[in-house]
Amino acid sequence: MRYLPLTGADRAGMLAAVGASSVDELFRDVPAAARLPGPVDLPRHLGEWEVEQAIGAMAEKNRHSGRLASFLGAGAYRHHIPAAVDHLIQRSEFLTSYTPYQPEIAQGTLQYLFEFQTQVALLTGMEVANASMYDGSTACGEAVEMARRITGRGRVVLSGNLHPHYAAVVKTLGALHETEIVQGAPAPAGEADLAPALDTETACVVVQYPDVFGHVRDWSALAGAAQAAGALLIVVVTEVVSLGALVPPGAMGADIVVGEGQGLGVGLQYGGPYLGLFAARQKYVRQMPGRLCGETVDAEGRRGFVLTLSTREQHIRREKATSNICTNSGLCSLAFSIHLSLLGEAGLTHLAALNHARAVQAAEALAAIPGVTLATDAFFNEFTLKLDRDAAAVVEALVERGVLAGVPGARLWPGDAALAGHLLVAVTETNTPAEIDAFAAALREVLA
């Protein structure tokens, strides 16, 4: 048993020191009827090579993005992760450390969290950011809860073009407090102005940027309307690389910006773990969920970092905490931070421009195919195609031709016939011009 260091002799000696005749005696507080007489009905332990074979066989059954040309997005994006990122996050001192509750021997984690908070604040154009959340969708749910706390109001307006999983999380949490949730239908060709939906009972309006269909639009006017109604504007960003090319939500007047940081450093991982970003105006900092790292000095006057404002958190405040979040996504925030440090200002803006340019090329090539209409005018690296038939069937047909063509509307909005012909296509720097050509050729063939 390679992970268990105790030998039979060790165990006997330790039992003698404890004064017990057997380990069973140490379990004597467990009701006799609940003590299992023998091993549960599961296989015995395997050697390292056997475990690799068993898990590796499952991995082999997946046809992943490296084996097919992938144009999948809708909240998870395939970007190239520099080798240095994974190497550094696998350093033991990062990988196997715990929450930095002993700051004197956790300055590595604390300093990168402080740097991460700064990076997120800069990208979003906001004043402060926290040390990460579980993912973008739960961060979105928490942002709505925060807006309810700040405004004391119980009505929430959601954009119809908010990622449906994000809207579902908001609705799940909202059900706890009889929150009234107002949401229009998804509009692939663009969404009407949300300002008329706001009233004096509205806690917040939640929009996505770029939205789930890929549209980018200026939310400044909506920010003004929200402010006038006493509501908060929450902007959701699911593709963080877009912030290298776009006016940041903070510059449009957002009150809270949440996002999915997976696109930098974290990888696809079939949906998790991902990285929730959470930024807000300074005046709301004491209402923010999650951990915060702050600068201070040590007994010798040297700069150092600690977790701070923890009186908001469950381990101190218990039932009066601002959320029940305990864990953050520490290691994912480190990966994000390293990737962004490698890119720097020049690298991120270049990466974003490259994504955008490739996406424009792909959109033009695909929209030229008979039976295909481009439904998105202004977009970053993701756009929506309207096909003349069921998009899910087209996607399966394209798998056979080596292409993961995108996310069909039916996957995100099951049962919504109006969206069944829509295909969400994402293009990143990992999609070469040759891949784009092959996608267009295959789609042309399938639709012919």
Partner 1 sequence: MNRQGRPSAPGTAGRAGAADTVLGHRGLDHEEALIFEQGQEGRTGVDLPPVPAVEGRLGALARKGPIGLPGLSEPQVVRHYVRLSRRNYAIDMGLYPLGSCTMKHNPRLNEKLARLPGFADLHPLAPPSTTAGAVELMATLAHWLKVLTGMPAVALSPKAGAHGELCGIMAIRAAHVAKGEGAVRTRILVPESAHGTNPATAAYCGFKVDPVPATADGRVDLAALKAKLGPDVAAIMLTNPNTCGLFERDIREIADAVHGVGGYFYCDGANFNAIVGRVRPGDLGVDAMHINLHKTFSTPHGGGGPGSGPVVLSAALAPFAPLPWVVETDSGFALVEDAAGQSFGRLTAFHGQMGMYVRALAYMFSHGADGLAQASSDAVLAANYIQARLADVMTAAFDGPCMHEALFDDRFLKDTGVTTLDFAKAMIDEGYHPMTMYFPLVVHGAMLIEPTESESRESLDEFIAVMRRLAEAARAGETERFAGAPHYAPRRRLDETAAARKPVLRWTPPAPAQAAE
By beta-carbon proximity to partner 1, the closer residue of 230 and 285 is: 285
Binding-site member from 351, 366, 372, 375 for partner 1 (CB under 8 A): 351
End-to-end Cα separation, the chain, in angstroms:
59
Please choose, out of 23-31, 183-191, 226-234, 440-448, the segment that lies near partner 1 by the rule CB under 8 A.
23-31
Q: Is 200 in the site for partner 1 (CB under 8 A)?
A: no
Of 301, 370, 434, 448, the residue at the interface with partner 1 (CB under 8 A) is: 301
Stretch that binds partner 1, among 152-160, 185-193, 226-234, 270-278 (CB under 8 A): 270-278
Nearer to partner 1, 96 or 200 (CB): 96
Residue 289, phi then psi, degrees to nearest 5? -80, 165
Q: How many Å apart are CA 277 and CA 264, to the nearest integer?
A: 12
Q: What's the token pair of residue 422?
A: 């829509």
Give the largest Cα separation in the chain, rounded.
82
Is 412 an interacting residue with respect to partner 1 (CB under 8 A)? yes
Question: Does 11 contact partner 1 by CB under 8 A?
Answer: yes
Backbone CA torsion sign across 341, 347, 349, 355: negative
319: contact with partner 1 by CB under 8 A:
yes
Rounded least distance, CB 152 to partner 1, Å = 16
Q: Is residue 306 near partner 1 by the rule CB under 8 A?
A: yes
Residue 212 interacts with partner 1 (CB under 8 A)? Answer: no
Q: Is 250 in the site for partner 1 (CB under 8 A)?
A: no
Please identify, using beta-carbon distances, which residue of 14 and 228 lies nearer to partner 1. Answer: 14
Sign of CA dihedral 301, 302, 303, 304: negative
Residues in Cβ contact with 347 at an 8 Å cutoff, skipping those fewer than 6 apart: none
Count of residues of this chain found to bind partner 1 when the rule CB under 8 A is applied: 212
CA–CA gap between residue 358 and residue 148 (Å, rounded):
40
For partner 1, the binding residues in 145-174 under the rule CB under 8 A are: 163, 165-166, 168-169, 171-172
Which residues lie closer than 8 Å to 57 by C-beta, 6 or more apart? Answer: none
156-186 burial code (b ≥16 CB/10 A, e <16): bbbbbbbbbbbbebbbebbeeeebebebeeb
Burial of 399 (0-12, 13-18, 19+ CB in 10 A): middle
Q: Are the beta carbons of 290 and 325 closer than 8 angstroms? A: yes
Interaction between residue 189 and partner 1 (CB under 8 A)? no
272 binds partner 1 (CB under 8 A): yes
* Binding piece for partner 1, criterion CB under 8 A, among 103-111, 180-188, 193-201, 365-373: 103-111
**236 strand-pairing partners:** 208, 258
Helix or strand run (H / E) with residue 278: strand 276-280
The interface mask with partner 1, positions 35-74, x = CB under 8 A, is xx--xxxxxxxx-x-xxx-xxxxxxxxxxxxxxx-x-x-x
Least Å distance, CB 192 to partner 1, is 19
Give me the residues paired with residue 208 across strands. Answer: 236
Verify cis geometry, omega within 30 degrees of 0, for the bond prior to 273. yes
> Which of 153, 155, 291, 422 is the binder for partner 1 (CB under 8 A)?
291
Of 152-160, 194-202, 211-219, 437-445, which part binds partner 1 (CB under 8 A)?
A: 211-219
Compute the C-alpha angle 67/363/74, nearest 5°. Answer: 60
CB 94 within 8 A of CB 109: yes
Task: Kindly state the smallest distance separating residue 195's Cβ from partner 1, in Å.
Answer: 19
Taking residue 216's Cβ as centre, other Cβ atoms within 10 Å add up to 19
Q: Is 229 helix (H, G, I), strand (E, B) or coil?
A: helix
Does residue number 185 form part of the binding site for partner 1 (CB under 8 A)? no
Q: Is 33 in the site for partner 1 (CB under 8 A)?
A: yes
DSSP 99: -
- Binds partner 1 (CB under 8 A): choice among 297, 370, 434, 448: 297
Nearest distance in Å: CB 389, partner 1: 16
448 binds partner 1 (CB under 8 A): no
**Going residue by residue from 370 to 409, which x/- string records binding to partner 1, judged by CB under 8 A?**
-------xxxx-----------x--xx--x----x--x--
Instruction: Tell me the closest approach of the beta carbon of residue 437 to partner 1, in angstroms.
Output: 13
Of 112 and 229, nearer to partner 1 (C-beta) is 112
CA pair distance 368, 44, nearest whole angstrom = 58
Q: Which stretch binds partner 1 (CB under 8 A): 146-154, 180-188, 193-201, 285-293?
A: 285-293
Choose between 63 and 199: whose C-beta lies nearer to partner 1.
63
Candidates 150-158, 222-230, 245-253, 440-448 — which segment interacts with partner 1 by CB under 8 A?
245-253
Identify the residue among 21, 193, 227, 317 touching partner 1 (CB under 8 A). 317
Per-residue CA distances from 201 to 155, 232, 339 (Å): 6, 12, 42
Give the three-class secondary structure for 366: helix
